[in-house]
Amino acid sequence: MTIDALNLSGAPTPLQRADRLGRELGFQPGALMIKRDDLTVFGVGGNKARKLDHLCADARNRGCRTLVTGGAVQSNHVRMTAAAAAMLGLECVVVLGGREDSPMEGNLLLDRVFGARTVFTGAVYSDELEEAIAEEVDRLDSRGEAPYLIPLGGSSPIGALGYVDAAREIAAEASGAPVVYTACGSGGTHAGLVAGLGDHARVVGVDVGAVRDIGTKVASLAPMTAAAAGMAEPRGEVRLVSGQIGRGYGAPTEAAREAILLVARTEGIVLDPVYSGKAMAGLVADRREGRLGSDQPTVFVHTGGLPALFTSRYRDWLAGNGNAVASDGQ
């Protein structure tokens, strides 16, 4: 598969030493680094930008005029897709799993700012949402709007090529053979990193509870992504941390809150409560419990998600004034 990727994301992103955080966690100087994919350059930033570099190139090559995707009301992926469409002069239709009377804040507000048309379904599970998205694609196609379907989270072999690119950056910039930690939601970031590094042992995905049986999805998607990139099938078996989900997808945990505050107060970097906060909580637990050595080169992929912090669901929780309810998603 040959797709000439766009560079909407502004990649490469910085690989930043995190020595103050590393010292708090008992790492040797220089061992802990953060891949700043929160600093991609459009739509408030985040990891979905890399996937959209490839997906939007494919849409353009196919002559499509409307990007169609979906997610929960506070989906980072939906927000980034809406922004990418605006940059390229394309229409964008987003199918959302929440209610039409959801608070106009965070990512939902930004979807509107970027000009996306929103369709609310009330769907709870990903299979229901995927069915609703497919129906919307058929409707748009019948009206001649030339739709391009982007899967949930942008997690397809084409989208995951964005994290083959990121893996190459990490391999070129990091010393030694680092272990890479990332949040694992829809699986594309994890699978792309594995495909790019060639070895499941090099990538630890922290399951945030977005998809049932995510390990099976990563195991399937990684070799398909490697094939799309013209690379060998990755070695080994999927590595997942499953102890950071809490009560469910988007449900805040005390470990995530601790991780967010720790990173903010040592490195001046803001994580989010749904993805990167839980991923960092997984890294912190592995280091404190001895599963991650003090001298092991370690890269944490910051996937973004900043708008969630400014929603009513998480504001009081992060400030220590109460507990947020289980989320309707990111």
pLDDT above 80: residue 322: no
> What is the overall mean pLDDT for the chain?
95
In tens, the pLDDT along 52-84 reads 999 999 999 999 999 999 999 999 999 999 999
In this predicted structure, what is the pLDDT of residue 98? 87
Q: Known catalytic residue: 75?
A: yes
In tens, the pLDDT along 142-187 reads 999 999 999 999 999 999 999 999 999 999 999 899 999 999 999 9
Residue 62 is part of a domain; what is its CATH number? Answer: 3.40.50.1100
The verdict on 129 and 252 lying in the same domain is: no
pLDDT above 70: residue 6: yes
Average pLDDT for residues 111-122, to the nearest whole number? 97
The verdict on 23 and 60 lying in the same domain is: no
Q: How far apart are CA 7 and CA 3, in angstroms?
A: 12
Pairing mode, strands 32-35 and 298-301: parallel
The verdict on 31 and 107 lying in the same domain is: no
Do the domain assignments include residue 328? no
In this predicted structure, what is the pLDDT of residue 120? 97
Strands (DSSP E) contained in the chain are: 15-17, 32-35, 66-71, 91-96, 117-120, 147-149, 179-184, 203-207, 240-241, 298-301
Q: Which of 105, 125, 154 is the last residue of a domain?
A: 154
In this predicted structure, what is the pLDDT of residue 185? 97
The verdict on 187 and 301 lying in the same domain is: yes
The verdict on 129 and 183 lying in the same domain is: no
Per-residue DSSP letters for 135-156? HHHHHHHHTT--EEE--GGG-S
Cis amide prior to 12 (ω within 30 degrees): yes
**What is the number of domains present in the chain?**
2
* pTM listed for this prediction: 0.95
Q: Which of 154, 188, 215 is the last residue of a domain?
A: 154
Domain limits for position 80? 48-154
The verdict on 159 and 295 lying in the same domain is: yes
The verdict on 190 and 276 lying in the same domain is: yes
The verdict on 141 and 179 lying in the same domain is: no
Do the domain assignments include residue 108? yes
The verdict on 200 and 251 lying in the same domain is: yes
The verdict on 189 and 85 lying in the same domain is: no
The verdict on 161 and 149 lying in the same domain is: no
> CA-based angle 149:153:158, to the nearest 5?
60
Do the domain assignments include residue 139? yes
Q: How far apart are CA 295 and CA 292, in angstroms?
A: 9
Cβ distance 124 to 116 under 8 Å? no
The one catalytic residue in 75, 155, 186, 327 is 75
Query: Of 45, 124, 59, which Cα lies nearest the Cα of 93?
Result: 59
Q: How many residues does the chain have?
A: 330
In this predicted structure, what is the pLDDT of residue 321? 66
Strand partners, 35: 15, 301
Residue 183's Cβ-count burial label (10 Å; 0-12, 13-18, 19+) is buried
Average pLDDT for residues 296-319, to the nearest whole number? 95
The verdict on 150 and 170 lying in the same domain is: no
Q: How confident is the model at residue 330 (pLDDT cuts 50, 70, 90)?
A: very low
